[in-house]
Amino acid sequence: MLEVWGRRNSSNVIVVMWAIGEMNLPHRRHDVGGSFGGLDRPDYLAMNPNGRVPTINDEGFVLWESNAIVRYLTRRYGQGSLLPDSESECAIADQWMEWGKTTPYPPCIELFWATVRTEPICRNADLIAARSESLAEALKILDTHLANRAYIAGDRLTMADIPFGPMAYRYFNLDVARPELPNVTAWYERLCDRPAFQEHAMIPFGRNPAEWYVLERESVS
């Protein structure tokens, strides 16, 4: 059976779990990382020397890094679902997955830490505004791309959408200023109708570190 190591509310674990859910893959997830600890254990470091999540073991094949995992699982199990129909479409999906990691993800994760993961009294309003603006500028590029397509790689959900969906859930549920993004909003609303997205990506995260911690402990397998 496919095994996944990582706490359910980790942004990178969510990406992998949503892909698994969309492909309906039998699996077992182990709570490690965050308040669960365990990333410095010798047996875990033997699988992933970075001491981070997620890591998978698929019938003896061990892999880490969320986008690499999504690509691997999609190419092995995603025919007819998350796997794009042609090599060129796979290349487009890869392109957007890489762009997601280099362009919108850094300000998104920094914005999340500057708000939800920081005590309200310690928050830096200028930093929050700057990260909000950087993320909004990146998402305007995606909004333009989505003007004539339902999903990132075309007319159906593919692996291209997987890294962006959880990011969008957090973005649209943070108390920050957002520009009008009609195409991103419509795409996000389509994701919210998907049962696998509801189960694995729409995970409440609270408004401050105390709420985050409580919700993390409630997410135990």
For the chain, which residues make up each domain, given as ranges?
A: 2-80, 87-216
pLDDT tens digits for 145-179? Answer: 999 999 999 999 999 999 999 999 999 999 999 99
pLDDT tens digits for 90-133? Answer: 999 999 999 999 999 999 999 999 999 999 999 999 999 999 99
Q: CATH homologous superfamily of domain 2-80?
A: Glutaredoxin (3.40.30.10)
**Model-level pTM?**
0.95
Q: What is the DSSP string of 63-130?
A: EESHHHHHHHHHHHH-TTTTS-SSHHHHHHHHHHHHHHHHTTHHHHHHHHHHHTTS-GGG--HHHHHH
Q: Which of 154, 195, 14, 162 is nearest to 75 (CA)?
A: 162
Cα 60 to Cα 203: distance, rounded to the nearest angstrom: 30
CATH of domain 87-216: 1.20.1050.10
List CB contacts of 87: < 8 A, sequence separation 6 or more: none
